[in-house]
Amino acid sequence: MSDSRPIGVFDSGVGGLTVLQELRRQLPGESLVYLADLERFPYGPRPLAEVRERAFLVIEHLAEHDIKLVVIACNTATAAALNAARERFDIPIVGVIAPGAQAAAAATRNGRVAVISTQGTLDSGEYVHAIKEANPGIAVLGLAAPALVDIVEAGDAGTPRADEALRPLVDDIIEWGADTLVLGCTHYPLLRPSLRRAVARRRLRVIDSAETTASRVRRVIAANRLQNTAAGPAPAPRVLVTGPPARFVDTAARLFRSDLESPVAVRLQPPLAVAR
């Protein structure tokens, strides 16, 4: 039986679009709703309790769109809210930490994995827990790199500014002895050109949480028989924002060339309604 309900995806900004793109690539028949919580961007520096409550509001709003699964396309929000959200909501919820952590544990050959993330994700310890859950013998180095989010949002991914920010991080990771690096923020895959230059001629596997998360969603959809089996590709994702739409459009246009719909402004305060 076909399930045409959409998958809901959210982040505080454009970073989660990396997950959205992978979902579209791996699940081309599935409808998608993306919510960018610009009103609280960025989540990374905020207290985890605040992010958790905000995530609950976002999920409640997405539920009004009759979604069949939620993807928390933000590492900080996953760290803050995933477990509590699964207890609170009767809907499958997938975060971005466990898929990346499991892929890193499988990829490392010397048992040393580095994770770069926002400060909030680092402070939560969730990557350490998830990687060691997959293999308790792995050593984990966590590094906060909050400036990278600002670089991406400013449209400077792949520029000398990004190169300069990444180089010392990669130097520290190589010096520590890691052979695997997890990109612990959904903004970071957009830095791949600069990352390739920083990693050049060095043996360092890079784990992209967007790709691994989309693979996890594909498996969950199949296991729970939630696939949309209707013929033909799905329509362009619907985009919701909690801040000025122009801000999202400008940033997304610099980073992505896609057929996203024009964003619709929404409010996440009860009663939840589309802004007029």
Are 64 and 126 contained in the same domain? no
Are residue 88 and residue 103 in the same domain, yes or no? Answer: no
Catalytic (active-site) positions: 74, 185
State the pLDDT at residue 274. Answer: 43
Could you list the residue range(s) of the whole structural domain that residue 199 is in? 97-209
67 lies in the same domain as 111: no
Q: Tokens for 271? A: 């009663």
192 part of a folded domain: yes
Q: How far is CA 169 from CA 131, 141, 148, 154, 274, in A?
A: 20, 11, 11, 20, 42
Domain assignment present for residue 1? The answer is no
In a domain, 272, yes or no: no
Q: Are residues 58 and 130 both part of a single domain?
A: no
* Cβ atoms of residues 2 and 232 within 8 Å: no
Task: List the one residue out of 206, 213, 219, 215 whose CA is nearest residue 107.
Answer: 206
Evaluate whether residue 127 is within a structural domain: yes
Residues 195, 138, single domain; the answer is yes
Are 138 and 225 within one domain? no
Q: What total number of domains does the chain contain?
A: 2
The CATH number assigned to the domain holding 84 equals 3.40.50.1860
> Residue 46 in 3-state DSSP?
coil
Do 195 and 133 fall within a single domain? yes
Give the number of other Cβ atoms within 10 Å of residue 221's Cβ.
Answer: 22
Task: Compute mean pLDDT per 10 residues along the chain, 276 residues long, and list them.
Answer: 94 92 94 96 92 96 96 96 97 97 97 95 95 98 93 87 95 96 92 90 89 95 94 86 86 71 85 43
38, 267 Cβ separation under 8 angstroms: no
How high is the pLDDT of residue 248?
A: 83
DSSP-assigned letter for residue 227: -
Please tell me the pTM assigned to this model.
0.90
